[in-house]
Structure 1
Amino acid sequence: MTPVLLGLIGVALALPVPALLARASWPYRSPAAGIVMWQSLAIAAILAISGAGLSTALWLVSEQDPSPSRVALHVLVLLVGVLVWARFWWAAWTVWRRTGTRRRRQRELVDLLGEPDGRSPALRVLQHEALVAYCLPDRTQARVVVSSGTIDKLGADELRAVLAHERAHVGARHDLVLEGFEFLRAAYPRILRTDAPLAQSRVMVELLADDAARRVTGDRALAGAIVTLAGSQAPDGAMGIGSEALLRLERLQDPPVRWWATTLAWTISVVVLVGPTVFLAAPWIAHALDVVIG
């Protein structure tokens, strides 16, 4: 029954558990730990399903005279595990290529239309009245983009908060965090797919960038920038400051990190990663290998 139990754990971590956590707001109180928790859930789900496939393969080799119905069930579990891994690597390639192409095109466009700022070669100013502020992360050619309308509308401290926010995205490579969740989401068949980890992580990277900005300018300047730029749109492949304005403003009233939220998120991360492997997969695989070798 180990392959079936691992498969059920993988399904639970892929659907009902994320659906339950998506309703909770406490991960926002410790966004770094919250992101690790979501990553652990997604990885644990794939590992459980993969473990189900591996243990199924070992079962098919080691079991003597199994019934046709049990063989059919185990073959189905094995196929699901293979499908998940195949989809994961295909998604990793396609998302990386698509996102990289979009960012390269945007970077070429802003370099053509934008004016370099003498204070930083990575900053481009677009001469336009629309309120625009976003970044195009990259290992060597990142860009921070703002419009002249944004500069005119914001005060000096508010503009510093915006630039600190976007540079935090670039410096911490929050884009790689979100791309990882896109890989993991696309790995599952549509019937097992949920948007909750990616959606919450998009919010939490904004909170992390807010925390970096508030350390530079304080809460008041950041709040003013969030209100002014609320709803502003960033192009595909970019990361903007205009999303989830209400939630972010409410969070500015609380301390950036709550110890209990951090502890809970780390506890969940460790349990979901270690638990299935230690208590189910490892003993069964060791027993199956003994049977095969013996």
Structure 2
Amino acid sequence: MTTAAVLVGYAVVVGALVPSLLSRAAWAHRAPVLAVFAWQGLMVTFVFTATLAVYHLLLADHHVHGGLVGLLSACGLAVGAPWAGPVPSLPQALALATPAAIVLLPLGWLVACSWRARRARQRHLDLLTLVGDPTPEYGATVVDHTTPAVYCLPGRHCRVVITRGALDALSEEQLWAVLAHERAHIDGRHHLLHLLADAFSRAFPGLPLARHAKEQTALLVEMIADDRALRLHPRETLATAMCEVAAGRVPPVALGAGGAGALVRLRRVLTPQPRPHRATSLGVVAATVVAPLLPLVVACGP
């Protein structure tokens, strides 16, 4: 029971306490790639910890299996591992399905969200075939709409879309700046990060980690794309372009240059901050790598 209590406490810390601290961390917006890595690590850690905690709460006291080795054996993941007790009964087998469901639930939602997003993107691509005008000059599709907007449809058949309103509102240099932002989304496969956070939030609705991870991931990937665009374009150019397209609405499955947290990003672009100290970055990486291993160490203990 001590092991179960430790794991439950660790799951509470990871799922409820750490997310609020990480979402307010000063270094996160200065190193968005590192921050995304930290959020992904927290989600993996929570799944591991919750799975092991439920296993120990439901089965360990019945001595059905011997610790983590017993759990892996029951799941068929440790071939030839010794059993610590008799073959589980039907109620015990059903109880074993509960920790397995904690792992399978986010995986199932990931498959479902991926399928839905792919269908939605395909419908939008079919629509662009009818109403869009391919523009090789910009490597994009132009849509006859007065509201300034620039966005991309990621995935296998990626597409960058520009409205006529954006072409009228943006200068040539501003347009190339937002195009660089959109291509950064495509090259970085940022839609996959959105999918992971969305699937986790649907698997664990109401969990603070799920809410914060989804919100922060959406903001951080926009910051990553901003940084990529700033490698080639001046800050004032990108900031002005962001203001022009900030009001443009884009499809839910698209990533737009206006994007999440436009005001926060605008301040960040115009007021650059130094990157976190190397010691801070190494500490975050180390903590992110170690965090999912701690519950395994606890579960493997005597």
TM-score for the superposition, normalised by structure 1: 0.83
CA-CA distance at 1:223 after TM superposition: 0.8
Tell me, in whole angstroms, the C-alpha distance in 2 between the residues paired with 1:61 and 1:30: 46
Please tell me whether residue 235 in structure 1 is matched to residue 270 in structure 2.
no
> Equivalences for 1:56-75 in 2 at 5 Å?
57-58=59-60, 60-61=63-64
Whether 1:89 aligns to 2:134 is: no
Q: Which residue of 1 aligns with 2:300?
A: 285
Residue 130 (structure 2) pairs with residue 127 (structure 1): no
Matched, 1:111 2:129: yes
CA contact (8 A) 1:52 1:78 kept: no
Pair 265,183 (structure 1): closer, same or farther in 2 beyond 3 Å: farther
How many positions carry a matched residue from both structures?
A: 273
The superposition leaves residues 146-183 of structure 1 with CA deviations (integer Å, 9 ceiling, x where unpaired) of: 01110111011100001101011011110001111112
**Within 5 A, what are the aligned runs for 1:253-292?**
253-255=270-272, 258-260=275-277, 263-264=279-280, 266-275=282-291, 277-278=293-294, 281-282=296-297, 284-285=299-300, 287=302
Residue deviations 1:31-54, cap 9 Å, x none? 000100111111111111122245
User: 1:184-263, aligned counterparts within 5 Å?
Assistant: 184-188=200-204, 190=206, 194-243=210-259, 244-255=261-272, 258-260=275-277, 263=279
Q: Which moved more, 1:238-247 or 1:185-194?
A: 185-194
Cα 1:275/1:130, change in 2 over 3 Å? closer
Percent identity (aligned): 29
Deviations 1:241-281 (A, max 9, x none): 11322211211234466133x75355245325425634x53
Amino acid at match of 2:101: L
Q: Which has the higher helix share?
A: 1
Letter in 2 for 1:274: V
> Which deviates further from its counterpart, 75-84 or 208-217?
75-84
TM-score (norm 2): 0.81
Counterparts in 2 of 1:202 and 1:78: CA distance versus 1, 3 Å: same
What are structure 2's unaligned runs of at least 5 residues?
67-91
Stretch of structure 1 that moved more, 75-84 or 102-111: 75-84
Change in Cα spacing, 1:61 to 1:84, as seen in structure 2 (3 Å) is: same
SS of the aligned residue for 1:225 comes to helix
Alpha-carbon distance in structure 2 between the residues aligned to 1:213 and 1:276: 34
The CA RMSD measured in Å over matched residues stands at 2.7
